[in-house]
Chain A
């Protein structure tokens, strides 16, 4: 087998393990003439961290937007715990336990860090402040709790967005380039946080161009190229896949 790496990677393409918590089946989205996501299928298992990589414009963010119901797919289906969520509104999808961040942070700029979290916290209002404080503490932003989000640094904004996703304790978490602009110390802390959450059963799908971090974080890599699934498998195998090297890593 090891002599035929591309075949190995290809054999696994679109694999949907039994009991996958998140499944994507035949998902397609066009923008005019561009097919941003082209017939993509895969499933991911609860309690794992999966990396979604690929060149700029390969459709990673679009795939996130389709999964989180920010925009409708032209065809295909998304299932969460086996239940189709394709026709649901984005807020329903979030309430079903799927949270995401944005490639460019989308905070509520004129609200404080704490307010950014309290605004979205579900459950009893009287616990909202405590939970917001705990979430801020988790990402190390307690010192700027009362600062307006607009005044936070780029990296702090990334962390605040991460905290905002976590505050409702979702089961599946999609992170779109969480490490862009985050300093090495924070990077390490985020990797540790993600692993800690994974050990508590949380499921992650993460895109990033920081391949070193992606390799360290993920037990599986999915590669997109021109909207199509190019490879899918364990990081070492995918890293060595000739087609992936050709399309993404270069030589």
Chain B
């Protein structure tokens, strides 16, 4: 087969422009919502941003390297508690507490990633589930510091707007970092690990180092999101911030948009947030089950997500992992 036809390339470039414009419009709307929107709208969008941060973070390790983690909520929870404890017990100002949240999650990511990333496939996925559960239990037991199962109450502050923009900043940074990764050879090296780790290693790719790096950066963003969440909501408990449903949603969103792509998690979280908001009011009970059903449906019918669907139709270029 010869290279793509010029007409195809034009169509793909046009498709890519439309795609980029839609994303830019969305970003613009999100930027101005705090000025016009109600608290309800702000809270809803903030929730979507948080999901998007988690999805983008999950994508960095699982979407690119194929190390599918079922315990990603652990890093969100650690971030929440690190910020909460820093604020409550340390009297540390929120911005610094949120930075600590990111650092703590990254440090835990490095610590657990070193042994966990030696596991392959389902063993890693389940191993991370175990890690998340172990951390949740540890947090619950450490009652004097964490407030245990009753949770941790932060000084209530009306910081919705500030937290909103902080979450937007985390999402933007995640997307920019992913873009940078995806457009440099390092992104292809991460994908090569996903595609065939032995062949990656045999061709000189420094697999262990890259996996750990991706894992730490991924944990960092999840931790930052958790820290901002704790600051804004001003009450956290282990059941909420370590909830498996956080991980499931992040996986569903990323898979819907396209794993190992730049905008996949963004597109997926916009769509899924919208869908679940529409369903939430009418069918509150099937809401969580929906994510699970969606994952199965995507795996069966749209394994590469929306991005690959568009690429296969020639609407966006296949060589660029956007």
Contact = CB atoms under 8 A, between A and B. Distances in A.
A122 interface: yes
A95 interface: yes
A147 B4 CA distance: 9
Interface stretch (B204-212, B222-230, B280-288): B204-212
Q: Which range contains the number of A residues in contact with the other chain?
A: 35 or more
Interface string A87-110: 001110011000110100011111
A119 B201 contact: no
Contact of A118 (B188, B195, B200): B188
B266 interface: no
Contacts, number: 90
B207 A91 contact: yes
Interface in B261-313: 304
A180 B201 CA distance: 24
A95 to B, nearest CB: 5
A107 B196 contact: yes
- In the A-B complex, the 10 residue pairs with the smallest Cβ-Cβ separation, listed nearest first, are A108-B195, A94-B204, A119-B188, A106-B199, A120-B203, A119-B192, A90-B201, A95-B204, A108-B192, A106-B196
Nearest to A121: B185
A114 B3 CA distance: 12
Contacts of A70: 198, 201-202
Contacts of B200: 108, 119-120
A159 B157 CA distance: 63
Contacts of A116: 192
B14 interface: no
A44 B319 CA distance: 41
B189 to A, nearest CB: 5
A210 B296 CA distance: 46
Name the residue in B3, B195, B202, B203 with the highest tally of chain A Cβ atoms < 10 Å from its Cβ: B203
A165 interface: yes
A220 interface: no
B189 A119 contact: yes
A90 B195 contact: no
A111 B195 contact: yes
B218 to A, nearest CB: 20
A203 interface: no
Contacts of B304: 110
B207 A110 contact: no
B203 A109 contact: no
Interface string A102-137: 100011111110111011111001001000000000
A120 B198 CA distance: 13
Interface stretch (A24-32, A45-53, A138-146): A138-146
A107 B198 CA distance: 10
A121 B203 CA distance: 9
Given A100-B202, A109-B196, 17 more contacts: A68-B202, A70-B202, A91-B205, A102-B199, A106-B196, A108-B196, A109-B195, A111-B188, A111-B191, A119-B188, A119-B191, A119-B205, A120-B203, A120-B205, A143-B3, A146-B319, A148-B318
Interface in A162-186: 164-165, 168
27 contacts: A70-B201, A89-B201, A91-B204, A91-B206, A102-B199, A106-B198, A106-B202, A107-B196, A108-B200, A109-B196, A112-B318, A112-B319, A114-B319, A115-B319, A118-B185, A118-B188, A119-B191, A119-B192, A119-B200, A119-B205, A120-B192, A120-B200, A128-B185, A143-B3, A145-B3, A146-B4, A165-B203
B1 interface: yes
Contacts of B188: 111, 115, 118-119
A70 B188 CA distance: 21
A73 B205 CA distance: 22
A195 to B, nearest CB: 24
Contact of A143 (B1, B184, B185, B198): B1
